[in-house]
Structure 1
Amino acid sequence: MKRGIDMGTQLSKDADKLLCILYKKYLDKRKENVPKNDAKLCGGSNLIRDTLVPNWSLSDVDNTCWELSRAGMLKVNGSNNSIYLVWLSDSGIVYMENRFKNGVKEVTEFLTSFIP
């Protein structure tokens, strides 16, 4: 059986957007020579909401992170639906590398399509 994420993985629009935002943050950290293990770390749902998606409710951030975890894109530590730590999975990074072959520029262009 082949491991990893199927490129046909289907995500909600919010999950797709959050994954792109987290991946862009990862790429920005790597560009600053942050080690991979540290660059993968995204913080908890409070930090993600406060710094990356301030217009989202905490519940929406939690639910979207859990969705991405079920899809294999993120690793999540939490309990009772409260998320304490999120990090990009290796499979999630590979999925995004294959999706956005031109790296941060292409991800940024994609994310601008969400701006009204």
Structure 2
Amino acid sequence: MTLTKDAKTVLYKLYKEYSDRRKHGFTKSDSKNFINVEEIQKIFFPDLLLEDVEDSLRELGRNNFLNNLYADDTVYTCRLSDFAIATMENLPTRNL
């Protein structure tokens, strides 16, 4: 996986949330969906700058880990791709 450290951190956190949702009975489709960048930053990365979180979401989108929907030049919603889930599922547990 050729991603920056920041993008990997965002991916790991979003995948962990996906996994937690699945364990709590959410559908696979609902578990993949995430809200706008402001909410992602506020909920998962309060110590990071909004612009840095958005940059990582864009990087993950360019590398097919997220399917991003853009509005007003920002990430409006994003969805973990099947590629991202498969990649994360196949990592050794110690890497997570």
Counterpart in the other structure of 2:73? 81
CA contact (8 A) 1:75 1:89 kept: yes
Aligned residues between the structures: 96
Native 8 Å contact 1:62 1:81 kept in 2 = no
Q: Is the 8 A contact 1:30 1:36 kept in 2?
A: yes
Q: Select the structure that is richer in helix.
A: 2
- TM-score, normalisation: structure 1: 0.77
Provide the C-alpha distance between the structure 2 equivalents of 1:13 and 1:80, rounded to a whole number of angstroms: 27
SS of alignment partner, residue 34 of structure 2: strand
Q: CA deviation at 1:80?
A: 4.8
* CA displacement 1:56-114 (0-9 Å, x = unmatched): 111111111000001110010013531110110011100000114x5xxx57xx4xxxx
- TM-score w.r.t. the length of structure 2 is 0.92
The structural deviation recorded for 1:36 is 0.3
Aligned sequence identity (%): 33
List runs of 5+ in structure 2 lacking aligned partners: none
RMSD: 1.4
Tell me, yes or no, if structure 1 residue 93 matches structure 2 residue 85.
yes
